[in-house]
Amino acid sequence: MSGGINIEDIVAGHVKDTDYFHLPFYHLEIPEFLINLGITKFILIEIAAAILMGIIFLPLAARIRGGKPVKGRFWNLIEVFLVYMKDEVIVPSIGKKDAAPFIPYLWTLFFFILFCNLGGMLPWAGSPTGSVMVTGVLAICTFVVVVATGMIYHGVTGFWLGMIPPMDGVIGIVLAPFMFVLEVFSFFVKHCSLCIRLMANMFGGHLMIGVFLAFIPMSAWAIYAWIPITFLVIVTAVCVSFLELFVAFLQAYIFTFLTSVYIGMAIHQH
């Protein structure tokens, strides 16, 4: 607490899930009936991201299905993202022969994470991907897809035993059980890292901005200190915001890239 201002609210209000939106000059509470349904700020942002994806991609898909060319800077930009993720990430990671069934899921994953990340660029909103509950569900979805893919391609036993690297002779027989445990543990850790990496990057960056901004009310007790501190904090926050904008795209890319790699590894074992 500083000068009647709760610094914790300033820092945490942007990076934590809440039951309100702190708009400029207005505090908007989420209706009680939505709270009773478990609807919070992050869930509303995720719903908005899903609706935005529908608004963008349903007309685009209809145009492409009808054989019409994609025209306009915005639509060409979206097409660049789609083509790049397909040709440079998904197909090389999974293989040209097997990639097609997974392209819709991976495109959806990329843009959903991206839109949720960009929600954190709005000062009155927040980034749902800064919550381990959200990134955990995304990681679980990838885990289910990878395991299901591996078992479809190799069978239940073949998929799990296929994690053991080829080993010949007596040494292979002795080490096989240990290698199996190690590989299964590593398999689970890889998917857990998807959750932690995305959450830590999004949470950490916005927390940093919140901490910087908290220096402004903390220094309000001295006008001569407040003016230069406010200027430095605003400049720093703007610079970090540009970095966070880059991180929003980067983390969506990394999550999708690693998901593609894990799917490819499940299909092409050793």
Domains of the chain, residue spans: 7-267
pLDDT per residue as tens digits for the range 77-105: 998 999 999 999 999 999 889 999 999 99
Answer yes or no: is pLDDT of 3 > 50: no
pLDDT band at 1 (very low <50, low <70, confident <90, very high): very low
pLDDT per residue as tens digits for the range 232-260: 878 887 888 788 889 899 999 999 999 99
Longest dimension (CA), the chain: 78
Residue appearing with tokens 């819709």? 104
Is-contact 15 119, C-beta < 8 A? no
pLDDT band at 220 (very low <50, low <70, confident <90, very high): low
The contacts of residue 130 (CB under 8 Å, 6+ apart) are 15, 120, 199, 202, 203, 206
Answer yes or no: is pLDDT of 45 > 80: yes
Q: What is the pLDDT of residue 219?
A: 67
Answer yes or no: is pLDDT of 210 > 80: no
Q: What is the pLDDT of residue 175?
A: 80
Is-contact 86 253, C-beta < 8 A? no
143-177: buried (b, 16+ CB within 10 Å) or exposed (e) per residue?
bebbbebbeeebeeeebbebbbeeeeeeeeeeeee
Backbone CA torsion sign across 228, 229, 231, 232: positive
Look at 130-134, 162-166, 211-215 and tell me which has the smallest mean pLDDT: 211-215
Answer yes or no: is pLDDT of 172 > 80: no
User: Which residues partner with 2 through β-bridges?
Assistant: 5
CA distances from 102 to 91, 99, 138 (A): 9, 6, 15
Kindly report the number of other CB atoms within 10 A of residue 241's CB atom: 15
Highest mean pLDDT: which of 119-123, 196-200, 217-221?
196-200
Q: Report the pLDDT averaged over residues 131-148.
A: 94
Q: What is the pLDDT of residue 4?
A: 44
Q: What is the pLDDT of residue 236?
A: 80
